[in-house]
Structure 1
Amino acid sequence: MMDQLRRSVVCRLTNVAILFTLYFLVALSPETTAQQPPGLGPKGDLVGLEFEAAGSTTMIGQNARKQLIVTGVYSSGQRHDLTHDVTYSVDVPAVLNVDAEGLVVPTADGTATITAKVASGQLATLIVSTSRCAEELPVNFEHEIVPIFTKKGCNAGGCHGKADGQNGFKLSLLGFYPKEDYEYLVYEDRGRRVFPADPDFSLLLQKPGNLLPHGGGQRMSPGSYEWELIARWIRQGMPYGSETDPTLERIASVPPVREMNFKAKQQLAVIAHYSDGSTRDVTRLASYEANHPEMALANATGRLTIEDVPGEVAVMVRFQGSVGVFRAIIPQGTPVLATPPERTFIDNFVFAKQRQLGIPPSALCDDATLIRRASIDIAGRLPTVAEVEQFLADADPAKRDRLVDRLVDSPGYADYFANKWATVLRNKRRNGTDIPYTYKFHAWIRRAFRENMPYDQFVRSVLTATGDPETHPPVAWYREVKTSTTQMEDVAQLFLGMRMACAKCHHHPFERWSQQDYVGFEAFFSQVGLKNSKFNQNVNQPDMVYLKTSAPSAKNPRSQLDVKPTGLGGVPLDISPYEDARQYLVDWMAAPENPFFARALVNRYWKHFFGRGIVDPEDDMRVTNPPSNPELLDALTKHFLDHRFDLKDLVRTICKSNAYQLSSQPTEFNQTDQQNYSSFYPRRLSAEVLYDSVNAVADTPSNFGTIPQGTTAVQLPDNGFNNYFLEVFGKPEAESACECERSAEANLSQSLHLLNSGDVQGRLQNGQGRAARFNREPDRPDADKIRELYLAAFSREPRPEESTFVMSQIAGYPNKQQAWEDVIWAILNTREFQFVK
């Protein structure tokens, strides 16, 4: 048998003409040629010049800095940044200086008028007052010195901010614990890093100035603003600050949002707001990072450069423990003269966004594309030949809605979404004794989706599971997430769209959550205990959940104080030792006013059907990663809540929209769009769906050995089936709550496996398969067989040139079964087969 397979592989690889010809026939589409987009359109004439309101116009002390933002107002109504394009002058130069980038530095007490002027003569003025410039005002360590370390990367995770520090010197990560930093600098090693008698010779300056050997290279120049500020602090005796000093409450970007053209630039200013009502310009001390670097880049001084991708991009601004966001709206500007009919509220918001950005949508996909797309996305399988024929022949205008309804109510829906949820709920088999638990948990999940259990009840059943998995299958989740930290991190990531792991040890660098928030959320699971049930003798894998009779709380490792259960952004709860804190957690999550729970689910499902979340990644819904279409996300969330967490209704609502039913063929006007769903984004079939699809086209049953023959890969109850095909195509091992564990990337091993593996060849040569059946039907016209094959693989009729080519190839084969095997083999290796589009 192996010799036969080897001969077949060699023969098949020599007949690459079929593969490449079919590839070009079925996979390639007409090229589109992009034209220069109009963007915002003609600006018109410059009619005015304005200084943006960027905090107080009073500057106190020689340490103060102010970033000017100058905006040009045009006759079209457009506003463009001219900060770096104007000429600045000061009527009283002795009071302050303004450089070419609009940075204001006070030099003496007084009042001065700054004038910004363009070559055409328009100008704007700003009055600035300065005071206490001659005084040696105390430098605040937390507010002025620590931000320098963050800005220069000194306290980053790859330098002195890592757990053990760097070369004997440690700082808290990103300066989140300034009191610890103060101890490290001023008192550790007898304060050798600071030299008050001559601050410029302090190690704290000599090292980053690269005047002494420094592994991090030069981080600041002698005489720079940062250098002089640190030197002044050392000269003053290294004060920390006073207990009465105001605390930072928030930061804000100026401007907060702006419409911008491709390749445009925008200077930002960052204003810190303090508890006493005062403000401070911290533009040059803040850090900047775009959430989509392919769309925009920001430099160290806060100047943003837009690339040539339309959509919305957010720039995260970070200062101390606060984060802010600047949003750039980047229209393509093509007139959207028509869109497909708006059948649902989803269409209203999707097409409105496309009109705003000037990105015309593609046309609706044809019926053949839709039945294949919907069958894969909803039921995890290819449609049968009979289903395709019936659907294509149906003339009822409502047939697309009926298709969606039929798929949602089919067993395949429950199979596919049980597969999806079992993976992220870590339904993992580690050895043979786990089978009763993993099988029961999978069966419970499948039943929940078949019966359309409301999502909030589904989550409650999992999180509050108690007892043994024999009688309470969701208990199996706790067998994989055994500690309160992994339990809370999985819950936050999977059900709230929040990645909380960073906050376990320090303030989250991209979010508002602190270690206190982490511990308060963890406290909801502090009563959970694990032990062995009577069914389990494995002491290393306890399988029974019980509740400890104790008041729920968790200890903050830094303060060593107990923290009560607290929802993210909520208030601490008083829960008695005899109540289950997890019930309170789900109550908080499922409340209509909860800002995370329903939003995370609808965003997760949106990504499933569209290939990209409204917030992407789907489990990173932080404030600094805002949605590409916030109005759409709000509307979907409201709809989901109004329909009482009905998952089937959500699937129907999404798939019946014309936004979902757009063609995957981009036009010259939307081919660069990556986030606004102006065309359907093709994506690779998942490992399980591709495996089952190969079997469907070859017409061979799957065989996983220990379960009934014909069980599909999508129906597998857990990860414990050794199958190289599934492994090489990225089936996850259920090790994580993140869907990113599933690999969708193409690689050489996948191509080689489909091209010449004994596994695939065996299915092609199966005596009961499609090729053998075609060979047993000599009187049946080849054109009819080709039509069946195309309907099975692509859910469409073959084009005339495809049918003619395949028939010409078959005619040249003396062995007709091998001919059909080669044709099927070529089809399996096409992009059209391997992708949903």
Structure 2
Amino acid sequence: MTVYWPHLVGETQAWPLRSWYRWVFPLLAVIGGLPSQGLAQVQRQDGPSIPPEPMFTRHIVPLLSRLGCNGGACHGAVQGKGGLRLSLFGAEPESDYDHLSREFSGRRLNLLDPAASLFLLKPTGQVNHEGGVRLAVGSREYQYLYNWIAKGARLDPRDSSRLIGLKVTPASHTVRPGEEYRLHVEASFSDGSREEVTELCVFESHDPAVAEVDQQGRVRAIRPGDAALVIRYRSEPVVAMLLVSSEAKVTFPQIQEHNFIDKHVLNKLRQLGIPPADLCDDVTFLRRVSLDVTGALPTPEEIRAFVESKDPEKRRKKIEELLNRPGYSAVWATKFCDLLRPRISYDTNRHAPEPASVRRFYSWIRARLEENTPYDELVARILTATSLEGRSREEWINEAIALAAEERKGGELKIYNNRRTLDLYWHRFDATGVKGTIQIAHAFLGLRLQCAECHRHPHDVWTQDDLLSFANFFNRLRANTGVLDQKQAAEVTRKAGSGLTAEEKKQLAARLEERDKLRIPRWLDMSAVYHVKGNVFGWATASSTLGTQRSEKFRLLGEKDNIQIPDEQDPREVVVAWLRRPDNPFFAKAIVNRVWAHYFGRGLVDPVDDLSPLNPPSHPELLQELASGFIASKYDLKWLHRTILQSRTYQQSAHPHPANPGEHRYYASFYRRRLPAEVVIDAINHATGSSERYGSGIPAGTRAVELPGRLEEGIITNHFVEHAFTVFGKPRRSPETVCDCERDSLPNLEQSLFMANHPEVIRKISAPTGRVAQIVKMHSNDAKRLEELYLWTLCRLPTEAERRLCLEHLKNAPSAQVGLEGIMWSLLNSSSFLLNY
């Protein structure tokens, strides 16, 4: 018999041994015909004994993960690499075994001479390998692979090798900088056996600046802080927590806590040996809380009154006052629209936004916030929305006609606010199916499910089946089509302006009734578009984007059991009931974390849309108590804002304690944050005494923070504002980008150039009716003028050094007007204007 050895003739030649190697190999083993080199080497290795016959699922697959062979950049890629495709991080061992042992007539494995297997020759660099050298001949990794091939390269039974759990020791640990220790990992399997698998795991530190971990599980602490250490065995991850404390060089101060938030934050700082900052002064607090809650700077009169007040409760009262101002609902309607992405489109080719519907979407959200609708109720009214809302079709038609007439008049759009539910949510592009489910999980659960469209991410727990089974709850919603032809639509549009007679309404209802289902009436002139959707129609099972998997089950995220949904039941109601359960692990925490991040610049879980078990919070007990309190308050959003704002943690200074080593995660001081794009525009107009005109349909006096959308959505026509939005990172709410990170809050050079050089900013400063001109006219004293200018811009009085320099500048200026314009330009371009601190 002729045997074609792959290492001699190349990878493209067949190796026709598959038909007999499975019975001849045991026979050779019995008569002693197999090479013994690999088995003998086991005795010469350090560490735990290598099994004489490693198991493919328990040992080989995790070893391939450790070596990087089945990672996304190598053979674990969607199409594989170099002709070999493995499942990502070994999620499908049976499939991997088939690819390794059966493809190309099994040429990758040489059972008669294991050392001659391509499976060993390539990663050791003895044969050309695009992935480079991954292991050395004679190493422990090599020996695992060699022994497996030498013993027949078998696939162990799935039922006995199914992973039940991973245990890492120590699961949590406290050390000092410079200290080291070792992690040990034990795996439990479905046959009841346990095995130490430390040397088969991949180790990673979430914060290498705090602690490093090598691939042997040795951890070295670097500086004070805490870090999550992620350990992955095969595709299964587990987390160990490490806290690095420092020897305090100063006595930790006695601090008066304002509420339970401070208790948790101070306990963590005490463990770390990092003393907190002092409380900020009244002027700083007023500016900070005004910007954060309402998006607006306080006026000089408000500043003076607050500073002069001797009321010990003035901060608490100011918080309550600000939460009841219109700015609060405007700021949070904008933030919710950033999450819900109301890009409502009726053009199936270009997905062009429909301005009126985007405005109605924003206005409806804002109306609910002004009412302080409980958050669970708000979400229920969105997720279970229908257009009919239990009404007759004729009643709905009357509403559609009223909406069309309202829009033709121009100005504000208020009729839609009276609806109970937000059916426009289901009109958005990609609102249903798998794409829509990913958006729902992101917006309401703080979860990232994008990767689960095709695989399980190594740093998360969600699989394709999890995503698809959850998507089925929303698959009874389907896209609708127009019900009127162009002539009919034009007729209805014309008559909507003057109103229809009862007989005309009846005729229109009859035309709609002819269809078996109520669909979407479309006013084709695009001046008044209104859809009906969100009713329950038929349903289809969810399939993955790549078409590799399908689910016909209903299962909630994180739940083990499937749910039976009768055909007549709306599955969305089951989802809402699950969200409202006090033990729901995501719903309350997601909004609590986002509100916290709004006030502190980072979440207790950061990034804020990654509530993964493998991304633990910096203060887990605090997050839990805030979420529990929020639920106990009956999901009162103002309770949540009020609790955070009243804490000492929020009210402390941005100047760290001298003994603070520069921490960035544990709230030892207030973190400076750049103002959002909308707030920058409003702050410039506040300081300069100017305003904006945004376009038809937007009332005069509207602030930037009250705008429902952007230029490309047809909402505004003000190119200066649109440019500022782009420069300062206002998100475009792209349906393809499901991430809180779309709003860019980082400073950059373009922002500095915008503030320093944009002609519109210069024009606002020097406007004949602007703030500088008003101050010059109202005050004759340069010192008084200077104080007013500082109060309008930086919300404080100038320091003595600033006063002296500015008065000298005014003395040498051609006029008070010119001198003050120069000072205002300098103040607008300072970090004290563009940052909240």
Fold agreement, TM-score > 0.5: yes
Cα 1:333–1:381 shift into 2, 3 Å: farther
Instruction: Give the distance between the partners of 2:300 and 2:158, measured in 1 at CA.
Output: 76
Instruction: Give the distance between the partners of 2:808 and 2:37, measured in 1 at CA.
Output: 82
Matches within 5 A, 1:678-689: 678-689=668-679
Partner of 2:217: 302
Q: Deviations over 1:325-375 (max 9, x none)?
A: 111111233255324311211122221222222211111000011001100
Instruction: Give the distance between the partners of 2:229 and 2:439, measured in 1 at CA.
Output: 27
SS in 1 for 2:478: strand
Instruction: Give the distance between the partners of 1:767 and 1:189, measured in 2 at CA.
Output: 82
Matches within 5 A, 1:178-197: 178-197=93-112
SS in 2 for 1:313: strand
Partner of 1:800: 800
Partner of 1:521: 470
Match of 1:460 among 375, 380, 385: 380
Q: C-alpha displacement at 1:672, in angstroms?
A: 1.8
Partner of 1:286: 201
Partner of 1:705: 695
Partner of 2:521: 534
Instruction: Give the distance between the partners of 1:165 and 1:98, measured in 2 at CA.
Output: 33
Q: Deviations over 1:63-82 (max 9, x none)?
A: 999xxxxxxxxxxxxxxxxx
C-alpha RMSD of the superposition? 2.5
Instruction: Give the distance between the partners of 1:95 and 1:286, measured in 2 at CA.
Output: 20
Contact 1:813 1:819 in 2 (8 A): yes
Q: C-alpha displacement at 1:537, in angstroms?
A: 4.6
Partner of 1:789: 789
Report the AA paired with residue 474 of structure 1.
L
Matches within 5 A, 1:82-231: 99=46, 103-105=47-49, 136-137=52-53, 139-231=54-146
Partner of 1:493: 442
Q: C-alpha displacement at 1:504, in angstroms?
A: 1.9
Q: C-alpha displacement at 1:428, in angstroms?
A: 3.1
SS in 2 for 1:776: helix
Contact 2:56 2:155 in 1 (8 A): yes
SS in 2 for 1:824: helix
1:264 equivalent in alignment to 2:210: no
Match of 1:674 among 664, 668, 678: 664
1:480 equivalent in alignment to 2:480: no
- Larger helix proportion, structure 1 or 2? 2
Partner of 1:25: none
Report the AA paired with residue 773 of structure 1.
Q
Q: Deviations over 1:774-824 (max 9, x none)?
A: 3434x5211111111212222222112211111110111113322211111
Cα 1:336–1:425 shift into 2, 3 Å: farther
Report the AA paired with residue 478 of structure 2.
G
1:634 equivalent in alignment to 2:633: no
Larger CA deviation: 717-726 vs 681-690:
717-726
Contact 1:551 1:577 in 2 (8 A): no
Cα 1:158–1:98 shift into 2, 3 Å: closer
SS in 2 for 1:162: coil
Cα 1:561–1:396 shift into 2, 3 Å: closer
Larger CA deviation: 734-743 vs 359-368:
734-743
Cα 1:565–1:549 shift into 2, 3 Å: farther
- The alignment covers a number of residue pairs equal to 713
Matches within 5 A, 1:794-833: 794-833=794-833
- Larger strand proportion, structure 1 or 2? 1
Q: Deviations over 1:482-515 (max 9, x none)?
A: 3311221112122112111112212232222222
SS in 1 for 2:826: helix
Partner of 2:542: 554
SS in 2 for 1:253: strand
Instruction: Give the distance between the partners of 2:600 and 2:184, measured in 1 at CA.
Output: 36
Instruction: Give the distance between the partners of 1:755 and 1:787, measured in 2 at CA.
Output: 22
Q: C-alpha displacement at 1:623, in angstroms?
A: 1.2
Partner of 2:576: 586
Q: C-alpha displacement at 1:709, in angstroms?
A: 3.1
SS in 2 for 1:266: strand
Match of 2:230 among 316, 321, 327: 316
Contact 2:303 2:795 in 1 (8 A): yes
Match of 2:709 among 710, 714, 718: 718
Contact 2:171 2:240 in 1 (8 A): yes
Match of 1:418 among 333, 336, 350: 333
Q: Deviations over 1:263-322 (max 9, x none)?
A: 3222111111122332111111111111222222211111122222x2211101111232
Q: C-alpha displacement at 1:167, in angstroms?
A: 2.1
Instruction: Give the distance between the partners of 1:520 and 1:578, measured in 2 at CA.
Output: 19
Partner of 1:11: none
Partner of 1:122: none
Partner of 1:350: 265
Contact 1:171 1:180 in 2 (8 A): yes
Cα 1:286–1:373 shift into 2, 3 Å: same
Q: C-alpha displacement at 1:618, in angstroms?
A: 1.0
Cα 1:433–1:813 shift into 2, 3 Å: same
Instruction: Give the distance between the partners of 2:538 and 2:55, measured in 1 at CA.
Output: 44
Contact 1:291 1:315 in 2 (8 A): yes
1:545 equivalent in alignment to 2:533: yes
Match of 2:589 among 599, 602, 626: 599
Instruction: Give the gaps of 5 or more residues in structure 2.
Output: 1-35, 346-350, 389-399, 404-415, 482-519
Instruction: Give the distance between the partners of 2:833 and 2:264, measured in 1 at CA.
Output: 32
Contact 1:429 1:719 in 2 (8 A): no
Match of 1:444 among 364, 367, 373: 364
Report the AA paired with residue 328 of structure 1.
L
Instruction: Give the gaps of 5 or more residues in structure 1.
Output: 1-61, 66-93, 107-132
Instruction: Give the distance between the partners of 1:538 and 1:598, measured in 2 at CA.
Output: 43
SS in 1 for 2:199: helix
Contact 1:810 1:816 in 2 (8 A): yes
Report the AA paired with residue 771 of structure 2.
R
Partner of 1:241: 156
Instruction: Give the distance between the partners of 2:441 and 2:97, measured in 1 at CA.
Output: 33
Cα 1:821–1:508 shift into 2, 3 Å: same
Instruction: Give the distance between the partners of 2:129 and 2:679, measured in 1 at CA.
Output: 54
Report the AA paired with residue 368 of structure 2.
A
Q: C-alpha displacement at 1:177, in angstroms?
A: 1.2
SS in 1 for 2:186: strand
Q: Deviations over 1:724-769 (max 9, x none)?
A: 1111111111124422101112222111111111121121122211
Q: C-alpha displacement at 1:543, in angstroms?
A: 4.4
Contact 1:521 1:568 in 2 (8 A): no
Partner of 1:33: none
Instruction: Give the distance between the partners of 1:255 and 1:215, measured in 2 at CA.
Output: 38
Report the AA paired with residue 730 of structure 1.
G
Instruction: Give the distance between the partners of 2:744 and 2:192, measured in 1 at CA.
Output: 50
Instruction: Give the distance between the partners of 2:191 and 2:525, measured in 1 at CA.
Output: 59
Partner of 1:567: 557
Contact 2:201 2:231 in 1 (8 A): yes
Q: Deviations over 1:46-93 (max 9, x none)?
A: xxxxxxxxxxxxxxxx9999xxxxxxxxxxxxxxxxxxxxxxxxxxxx
Instruction: Give the distance between the partners of 2:670 and 2:802, measured in 1 at CA.
Output: 25
Contact 1:567 1:585 in 2 (8 A): no
Instruction: Give the distance between the partners of 2:469 and 2:368, measured in 1 at CA.
Output: 31
1:769 equivalent in alignment to 2:770: yes
SS in 1 for 2:255: coil
